[in-house]
Structure 1
Amino acid sequence: MSVTTWLALAVFAAVYVLIATELVHRVAAALGGAVVMLLIGATSPEHAFFSKRAGIDWDVIFLLLGMMLIVAVLKRTGVFEFAAIWAAKRSRGRPYRLMVLLILATAFLSAWLDNVTTVLLIAPVTIVVCRRLGLPAVPYLIAEVMACNIGGAATLIGDPPNIMIGSRAGLSFNDFLLHMAPIATLLVVVFAVMARWMFRSGFVYDAKRAVRVMEMRERDAIKDGRLLAVSGVVVVIVMVCFVLHTTLHIEPSVVAISGGLVLLAVSRLKARDVAGDVEWETLAFFTGLFVMVGAMVQTGIITDLGQAAARATEGQLFGASMALLFGSVVPSAVIDNIPFVASVGPVVSEIVTASGGLEHAAVLWWSFALGADLAGNATIIASSANVVVVGIADRSGHHISFWQFSRYGLVVTAVTTAIAGLYVWLRYFVLA
């Protein structure tokens, strides 16, 4: 490898350590790392800002910005308080029952929307309901973002890596439902059971608070009925466009930013006030992270790793499947699964072709998708949804550290990928 490649690897490792140890704020670390990557020539302004393969993913940035604007307007209607009271009453104030309800709701929504949109909608509700019941919000936020990453694996539109894989492999929405939904459903159930043990310290039942919540009326939480009605129409249109975006040939980012700006325009709210609720730090963190990962792609580090795996499993379909499933976990956990899938996807396409084409070797794409999707639970930066939830939590006074997240995430990732590996083996090699 060249000197620049070694320097890029060193910079990335140093930034990762800073983020993990929290010696420097994650936003400062990511942006600082991006600047250094530009200075050492690991990437260039042209690639960093304009390359689809090795630069800032503006689709993700504008998708996030659009949904943050929508959430900021919705917040002023009182609908999050409404949903929080409803959830608390349905759970009767019982902490574990509430967590299971949030896990199931989040997993279901993430399959039909996308995981970033889902957590933007669910996280504020979670914080409010925990405040109402006197519960620590962090365990519930971590649990629901993990359920989001698992549930999002079920469909073509549920997780950004799935959209990228579906586009490259020519896989349809129904293909994902048939092959990914069964295992995703099973893993959500397994995770709900695991949550009873992992987050038991957060299950503090306060009978007095529960009684007070049961006496509340959800309807009283709504502050602006007109704005809620208008917001509801915009949100429904946005969600329908998300589901049909492949048919309409409109990118989700365009749908989201259009919906956010339209809702801001018709809401009669001051733009400055709404913009104040946007998670600008989260967007800045993503920007820096994309530039750093783009530098890793540009220097060939990620592609070299993928090609080495391809050579090691050449001609062995089962071995290649397991290598893609388990081999995708570590890099996806370290560099974010979106750029990982973007850079290694072409390598997987070559392996599929060499193994007999899509009809014979489609299992490789399913193994790749499962590995990348499930690895999103391993660390804070492994999935876009994780970064968004951490940002929302910080703004609400609930700090989630890198290791606090990872000590749960690594366990969940290990268990879910092991079950996914068993699923791939049974379905495609034993029962096929």
Structure 2
Amino acid sequence: MVISVYPLIGALILILLYTLLTLEIAHRTVVALIVAGLVMILNIFLHFTSFRELIDSIDIDTILLLMSMMIMVSVLSETGFFNYLSSKILGKYFSKPYTLVVVLTGATALISAFIDNVTTVLIISPIVIEITEKLRVDPRPLLIMIVFASNIGGTATLIGDPPNILIGSHADLGFMDFIYNVAPAIILVFLAFIIVVRFLSRDWFHDFYSKVKRVSLGEVSYIAYIDKKQAEKVILPFLSVISLFTLEDVLGYPPAVPALIGVALLFILVGRRINIEEVLHRVDWTTLVFFAAMFMTIKGIEKLGLMHEIATGILSFSGSYIVLMLMILWISAITSAFIDNIPFVMTMLPVLDEILVHLNYNATPLYWALSLGSCLGGNGTLIGASANVVVAGISERHGYPVSFSGFLKYGMTVMILSIIVSSIYLILRYG
């Protein structure tokens, strides 16, 4: 009876963590560090685990992969490559609003599959605002579409969204595993999204069509500067990393290895023109520390027995494998719409470990359900994903505030549609 108190304590700590993260009383990294310290003290006092075991729970592969990709994206962004690409698309298709949306969201989804979502929307959003302001069209619907496309595209690959990096590292799933199993679902989700977005934003499209007839190409054309020589040198290591990712399953190395090789090749090719201190300064160390603190927090809560209790509860409600898979998908989506999907996935991974102990068949599709649910669920609300909040901030600074309810009007529809498509895909392929 006494032992059952500890999972309850773990649950209260988890509720405290999510509440503080949602209310944003302090920076999420500060919150994670405080809770990690609390969990560490509690576990050591109860002799459930040691300081060394909690430190060892930090997934160095994930940290190194994120750090390496941040360095490469930072250097490539400085060349003007992404601004140039986006501006060319906008300049060519501005007179065809729906085609523009399809091309722009398609490009955003593709870029987000290989670059983190926040970086992608930071690159594209200012250009979208500039073009729509010249047309005197409200930029908010298009900005929201870009966010949706970014979150959808990021789900397709191992490196597209942090939850996938966590899942891949934890379950020993490689780059090509995600390409084979998750990317087909994302293609279907994106096609459904492109169809429904025309109906969701029909008033905006009508306004766009009426305004664009009075504007010439010269008034909206905007070609960003690009240092082509520098960009070519940076793109080569980047493409090398992507190529090495595809060979993970054959050669058997973790995802961090190709990323580190790419960074080394990058410094060899353009090292003289890079200020290493500035590059390292642009690495989002705050996020990396957040990850490290969360790894320790979740490990400590797992030691308190909470994950075992959650797994037992899920298994008791799921009558079949398909029901279990769909439960994980929908629970992940609904939860991730309201809380940060990174701590949620960190919480669910040890829960899945407990569930897998009781299964006698291939349970890998459960990880695909977790990936699809946690990543696509971020489209549900304004606070569901970091990219959503970033774009809302950019829009507000330009005089176009995005309300929670305004985002919800589009977001919940897109999220539910995405999860329905994902459900059908999972049932047909793994049911």
1:372, 1:407 → 2: CA distance?
A: 20
Aligned to 1:21: 23
Q: Partner of 2:117 in structure 1?
A: 119
Would you say the 8 A contact 2:126–2:394 is kept in 1? no
Distance of 2:7 and 2:315 partners within structure 1: 21
Q: Tell me which residue corresponds to 1:306.
A: 311
In structure 2, what residue type is equivalent to 1:132?
Answer: E
Q: Distance in 2 between matches of 1:2 and 1:228?
A: 58
Are positions 1:323 and 2:327 aligned together? yes
Corresponding position: 1:59 with 2:78: no
Say if 2:356 is the partner of 1:349.
Answer: yes
Are the aligned partners of 1:352 and 1:362 in contact in 2 as well (CA < 8 Å)?
Answer: no
AA of the residue aligned to 1:6: L
Distance 1:248 1:426, change over 3 A: closer
Aligned equivalent of 1:239: 242
Matched residues in 1 for 2:125 and 2:285: separation?
A: 19
State TM-score, norm by structure 2. Answer: 0.74
**CA offset at residue 171 of structure 1?**
8.2
User: Does the aligned pair in 2 maintain the 1:123–1:392 contact within 8 Å?
Assistant: yes
Do the aligned residues in 2 keep the contact of 1:227 with 1:267 (CA within 8 Å)?
no
Partner of 1:47: 53
CA 284–350 in structure 1, closer or farther in 2 if over 3 Å, else same? closer
Is the contact between residue 117 and residue 154 of structure 2 (CA under 8 Å) also seen in structure 1? no
Alignment of 1:265-276 (within 5 A): 266-276=271-281
Q: Is residue 7–residue 309 contact of structure 2 (8 Å, CA) maintained in 1?
A: no
Deviation of 1:63 after TM superposition, in Å, equals: 1.8
Distance 1:269 1:95, change over 3 A: farther
Select 1:191's aligned residue among 183, 187, 193: 193
**Cα root mean square deviation, aligned:** 4.3
Structure 1 residue runs of 5 or longer lacking an equivalent are none
For residue 250 of structure 1, the aligned residue among 253, 261, 277 is 253
Letter in 2 for 1:225: K
SS in 2 for 1:41: helix
Partner SS, residue 40 of structure 1: helix
Gaps of 5+ in 2: none
Structure 1 residue 67, shift from structure 2 partner? 1.5
Q: Secondary structure at the match of 2:310?
A: helix
State which of 62, 72, 79 in structure 2 corresponds to 1:77. Answer: 79
Q: Structure 1 residue 188: deviation in Å?
A: 0.9
Q: 1:339 aligns with which of 346, 350, 354?
A: 346
Please give the per-residue CA displacement for 1:2-22, whole angstroms capped at 9, x wherever unaligned: 555434332332232232223
**1:69–1:274 Cα contact (<8 Å) kept:** yes
Q: Write the deviation string for residues 190-211 of structure 1: whole angstroms up to 9, x where unpaired.
A: 2234444667898785758873
* 1:145 to 1:38, Cα distance in 2 relative to 1, 3 A: farther
Partner in structure 2 of residue 33 of structure 1: 35
| Equivalent residue, structure 2, for 1:133 | 131
Aligned residues with identical type, % of pairs: 29
Aligned to 2:105: 103
Instruction: Calculate the TM-score normalised by the size of structure 1.
Output: 0.74
Q: Is the 8 A contact 2:17 2:32 kept in 1?
A: yes
Question: What does residue range 352-363 of structure 1 map to in structure 2 within 5 Å?
Answer: 352-353=359-360, 357-358=361-362
8 Å contact kept, 2:154–2:161: yes
Q: 1:390 to 1:37 in 2, by over 3 A?
A: farther
Distance of 1:377 and 1:298 partners within structure 2: 32
The 5-angstrom pairing of residues 140-155 of structure 1 reads 143-154=145-156
State the distance in 1 between where 2:148 and 2:376 align: 9
